[in-house]
Homo-oligomer: A and B are copies of this chain.
Amino acid sequence: MMDVNVYRVPMAGPDDVSELEKLIDDGTVNPFEICAIIAQTEGDGYSRGYASLCFELMLSEKMKMPRAEVAARIPMLMIGLTGGLMSPHYTVFTRREIEAPENSEKRLALGIKITRVLLPEEYGTAVQVRLVAEAVREAMAEAGITDVADVHCVEVKCPNLTAARLADAQSRGKTCCSTNFAEAGSKSKGASALGVALGLGEIKEEDVTDEAICRNWDLYSKVASTSAGNEQVACKVIVMGNSTKSVSKYHIGSGVMQDTLDVDGAKAAFKSAGLRFDEVIPQSERERIATVFINAGADAMGSIRGRRTTMKSDYLSGYQGIFAKAVINAIVGAMVGDTMILASAGYEHQGPLGANLVAAIVKAD
């Protein structure tokens, strides 16, 4: 049986890993049981690498293990760029095997898989879709999740095309999905999201073509949140769901906000996770929330409910992803009275265009 714990703590800067250090020092967290760290880091894109490095350094010391080994062992997803009321923080997941009878209730279970290293020409293609799908299925099995309906959040970190990788592919006579790095990055994220959809049966095998990626928006996953990084060479997949193989004191749920004002979608997510409320989440139930992950999609749209926004036209439109995250953080934050919740921007097959995916982990009763 698996026991999974969840620790959400603030960070004072991209280099501040002191809260986890304290949890380790006081015996709350056994660093060898850490199975994933998901952070919302401030600053620009470089802060992601900075934060990762700081985690690796601290853990390397605590675990008396070379830094590279820590990096290989613990997947770290750094979601960069904050704005508005977003509060930099990270969530640490621990997992351990314990002797116990199978649970009568389903509880939080995590499965983690890393695909093989992808060739640059495979980024953003059907090959990537299928590799991610396979990793999702394996991670589900690892987590002891048998029903795809029990999967509520799949975080994928996948590779970005870079100048060096493009050159490598071209030197071997291969064509990449785009020579525009922004577009290639989108397709890598899109392929990862479709991989989740395929792995969970949300789309069919025959839907998966190179052409469909970032083009056929009718295909999507309701639980995928994907991001791409120049430092990645394979796809890291973290599947979160509920399983009778887990004795965790936590439970996860999810929901789709059809657009950023769809408060009912967010409520459904919290109810799916096990919170009890009618319209407003009372303080006592709010306290059961361990962490919240949102995939924001407002930056995909230039309007909402017939009202034009300036998301795509304004002189700040280069930062539209940050605004998309800031507004969904504010809306969901207002529902739970706390803005230390994670928002990641990504519209590529991560829910229908313009939707937001909400996953919540709460303490079981």
A residues apposed to B, CB below 8 Å: 10, 12-15, 42-47, 49-50, 53-54, 57, 82-88, 260-261, 263, 278-280, 298, 303-305, 307-311, 313-319, 322-324, 326-331, 333-334, 337-340
Asked if B50 contacts A326 (CB within 8 A), the reply is no
Asked if B309 contacts A261 (CB within 8 A), the reply is no
Asked if A337 contacts B45 (CB within 8 A), the reply is no
Which residues of the partner chain B approach A261 to less than 8 Å between Cβ atoms? 85, 333-334, 337-339
Asked if B50 contacts A323 (CB within 8 A), the reply is no
Q: A314-B43, A322-B316 are in contact. Are A84 and B50 (CB under 8 A)?
A: no
Number of copies of this protein chain within its complex: 4
Asked if A87 contacts B307 (CB within 8 A), the reply is yes
The interface centre, meaning the residue of A14, A83, A298 with most chain B CB atoms within 10 A of its CB, is: A83
Q: A84-B309, A85-B298, A319-B316 are in contact. Are A49 and B46 (CB under 8 A)?
A: no
Which residues of the partner chain B approach A13 to less than 8 Å between Cβ atoms? 46
Which residues of the partner chain B approach A305 to less than 8 Å between Cβ atoms? 337-339
Q: A84-B323, A326-B323 are in contact. Are A263 and B310 (CB under 8 A)?
A: no
Which residues of the partner chain B approach A314 to less than 8 Å between Cβ atoms? 42-43, 82-83
Q: A319-B318, A339-B261 are in contact. Are A49 and B15 (CB under 8 A)?
A: yes
Give complex CA distance A54, B83 in Å. 27
Q: A83-B314, A280-B279, A323-B83 are in contact. Are A304 and B14 (CB under 8 A)?
A: no
Q: What is the distance, in angstroms, from A141's C-beta to the closest C-beta of chain B?
A: 36
Asked if B12 contacts A308 (CB within 8 A), the reply is yes
Which of the residues B14, B53, B327 comes within 8 Å of A326, measured between beta carbons? B327
The interface centre, meaning the residue of A47, A278, A324 with most chain B CB atoms within 10 A of its CB, is: A47
Which residues of the partner chain B approach A12 to less than 8 Å between Cβ atoms? 308
Q: What is the distance, in angstroms, from A238's C-beta to the closest C-beta of chain B?
A: 24
Q: What is the distance, in angstroms, from A361's C-beta to the closest C-beta of chain B?
A: 18
Which of the residues B46, B303, B310 comes within 8 Å of A83, measured between beta carbons? B310
Asked if A313 contacts B280 (CB within 8 A), the reply is no
Give complex CA distance A31, B141 in Å. 50
Give complex CA distance A86, B304 in Å. 10
Which residues of the partner chain B approach A331 to less than 8 Å between Cβ atoms? 330-331, 334
Which residues of the partner chain B approach A328 to less than 8 Å between Cβ atoms? 330
19 A-B residue pairings within 8 Å (CB atoms): A14-B50, A15-B46, A15-B53, A43-B315, A46-B46, A82-B309, A83-B314, A85-B298, A87-B307, A88-B308, A260-B330, A261-B334, A261-B337, A278-B279, A309-B339, A318-B318, A326-B327, A327-B327, A331-B331
Which residues of the partner chain B approach A43 to less than 8 Å between Cβ atoms? 43-46, 314-315
